[in-house]
Structure 1
Amino acid sequence: MSCLTRRASSAVQRTLGRSAGLNWAKAGAARRKGQRKAANRRIGYLLDCLIPESTRWMPSRSVGRVFFCTLSSMFRAILFDLDGLLVDTEPVYWAVAREMARLRGRRVGDETLRRMMGVSRIESMRVLKADLGLVESPEMLLEEREEMMLRRYRAGVSPMPGASELVEEFRQRMLLAVVTSSPRKFVDVLLPSLGLSGVFDHIQSGEGVRRGKPDPEIYRLAMAALGVSPTQCIVLEDSRSGALAGRSSGAFVVAVPTELSRGDDFAFADAVAADLFEAARVIRGLPLAAQRSMTS
């Protein structure tokens, strides 16, 4: 029995038993007669035929998730985080946080910056206020920060390596969405500066989201807008809280950590890529829909 078969879950095997056209009964009968090796070879052949070979490197739970998708429906959508994933905004983000602290005679440490990653805008200001002992309300701090960030964004930002290539490769085949805690005014400045204006089928910004990442609400809103189920979605995230939100939504999660988040625990993710070029290779190995289709 192949390495892939040994790692396949019992849930996958039970699903095979219920799948039409698979001679699972013979394999079961052979096992009951003591012919375990022959049964396992037969089961292994069926699994190896149905699960893409490119998933052999994945954790067994992820192999099962890909298998269920293969039986029911192909992946149809890719949902992208924005900051730190598609666009290199983290230097701006951290520079503004440090400037806000400096103006108040304080210093902000890397641990505070790490805890501000991937959460809602207001929550990040609660972290800053608590860690630095600031007197202003989170709402006042947020307004100040967003004015400072918008000025810097308008001055120009850089795409993350591989962002344009990944989007261009899959835009004709997959539904694409941006799912970000940032306000829409940031998105409307950032995407055109990257040459990605009008590329995405849906943009889900932080406005109107009651519970920020790691809660899956923002991803579920985006999925509903696209008309796809969680099992049809691939989520790309750079932060742990964002990846947790994608995982909790039921999507297939590819984590692409940044320098700041690289030390975080992404063991729960279905795949961890060093950069967007590697993330593209992961996506190519998944069962993708033959053509894009958006439910109205």
Structure 2
Amino acid sequence: MELRAVVFDLDGVIIDTEEVWEQVRRGYVAEHGREFLPDTQSRMMGMSTGEWSTHLSAEVGVPRTPEQVAADVLARMAERYRTDLPLIPGSVAAVRRIAERFPVALASSSARVLIDQVLRTAGLAGTFRVTLSTEEVPRGKPAPDVYLAAVERLGLAPEACAAVEDSSNGLRSAAAAGLRVIAVPHGVYPPAADALALADLVVTGLDELTVEAVEKLG
């Protein structure tokens, strides 16, 4: 089937924030006298706001409710995005390049307040036809919910769309939803081999994400 739209992830694809998320959440947990569990960072990649805040509260043991944890951490993240947005080199150009040929959507695990802040700061507000947070669907990545909702709002079938992802949970989410999957592996947090194997196309950087490369997937 001919490809008719492209759905982008945000963290790790457009902005290089996995390290920022880790710094902020580790610092927050430490302030409350707790430590990350051995798998906390990998588990939280792709989780929705409600899921990771519950993990920090219920499993890591931060003595705050999940709602309080989410509010505390999101406020710190939004301030970082306002003052020092860590854009991945070439990401804004790649989004604009693809958007000239295809409708584009955003399917992110970030909270709505952070998505909107990033798009304003990056000058991408209005570029995406659809923007969705996993907090707006029942389940976060690796469940397919956010991708299914994004393509539904675009009015397209999943198989007519491609997803651009970097993380294990993101790749699994897009593949489970039935989209063609383009992997842009993150150097610091590379995806697991089994997740990367789900990709229809692997690029080493966003300069390789061209209209021609996307069209070939169709």
TM-score, scaled to structure 2 = 0.89
Structure 1 or 2, whichever has the larger Rg, is: 1
Kept after mapping to 2: 8 A contact 1:119/1:242 = no
Q: How does 1:209-288 map to 2 (within 5 A)?
A: 209-262=137-190, 264-265=192-193, 266-280=196-210, 282-287=213-218
Going from structure 1 to structure 2, the CA distance change for 1:199 and 1:118 (only over 3 Å counts) comes to same
* 1:138 maps to amino acid: P
Kept after mapping to 1: 8 A contact 2:34/2:62 = no
* 2:207 maps to amino acid: F
Kept after mapping to 1: 8 A contact 2:184/2:203 = yes
Going from structure 1 to structure 2, the CA distance change for 1:179 and 1:260 (only over 3 Å counts) comes to same
Deviation at 1:163, TM superposition (A): 0.9
Q: Given the alignment of the two structures, is residue 86 of structure 1 paired with residue 17 of structure 2, yes or no?
A: no
CA distance in 2, matches of 1:130, 1:274: 37
Q: Given the alignment of the two structures, is residue 184 of structure 1 paired with residue 112 of structure 2, yes or no?
A: yes
Kept after mapping to 2: 8 A contact 1:112/1:131 = no
CA distance in 1, matches of 2:137, 2:148: 11
* 1:199 maps to amino acid: T
After superposition, the C-alpha distances for 1:20-46 in whole angstroms (9 at most, x for unaligned) are xxxxxxxxxxxxxxxxxxxxxxxxxxx
Kept after mapping to 2: 8 A contact 1:256/1:274 = yes
CA distance in 1, matches of 2:57, 2:24: 14
Aligned residues: 215
Deviation at 1:284, TM superposition (A): 5.0
After superposition, the C-alpha distances for 1:150-191 in whole angstroms (9 at most, x for unaligned) are 111111202212212212222121010011122221111101
Deviation at 1:260, TM superposition (A): 3.7
After superposition, the C-alpha distances for 1:95-139 in whole angstroms (9 at most, x for unaligned) are 111111221233336742121101111212233345533332322
Deviation at 1:200, TM superposition (A): 1.0
CA distance in 1, matches of 2:148, 2:187: 28
**Structure 1 SS opposite 2:56:** helix
Q: Given the alignment of the two structures, is residue 99 of structure 1 paired with residue 13 of structure 2, yes or no?
A: no
Kept after mapping to 1: 8 A contact 2:134/2:141 = no
* 2:201 maps to amino acid: A
Kept after mapping to 2: 8 A contact 1:243/1:255 = yes
CA distance in 2, matches of 1:100, 1:259: 25
Q: Give the equivalent residue in structure 2 for 1:148.
A: 76
Gaps of 5+ in 2: none
Question: RCO (CA 8 Å, sep 6+): is it higher in 1 or 2?
Answer: 2
Deviation at 1:264, TM superposition (A): 1.6
Kept after mapping to 2: 8 A contact 1:114/1:260 = no
* 1:98 maps to amino acid: R
Q: Tell me the C-alpha RMSD between the 2 structures.
A: 2.0
After superposition, the C-alpha distances for 1:74-112 in whole angstroms (9 at most, x for unaligned) are 101000011111112223211111111221233336742
- Percent identity between the aligned chains? 35
* 2:51 maps to amino acid: E
TM-score, scaled to structure 1 = 0.67
Q: Give the equivalent residue in structure 2 for 1:123.
A: 51
Kept after mapping to 2: 8 A contact 1:115/1:127 = no
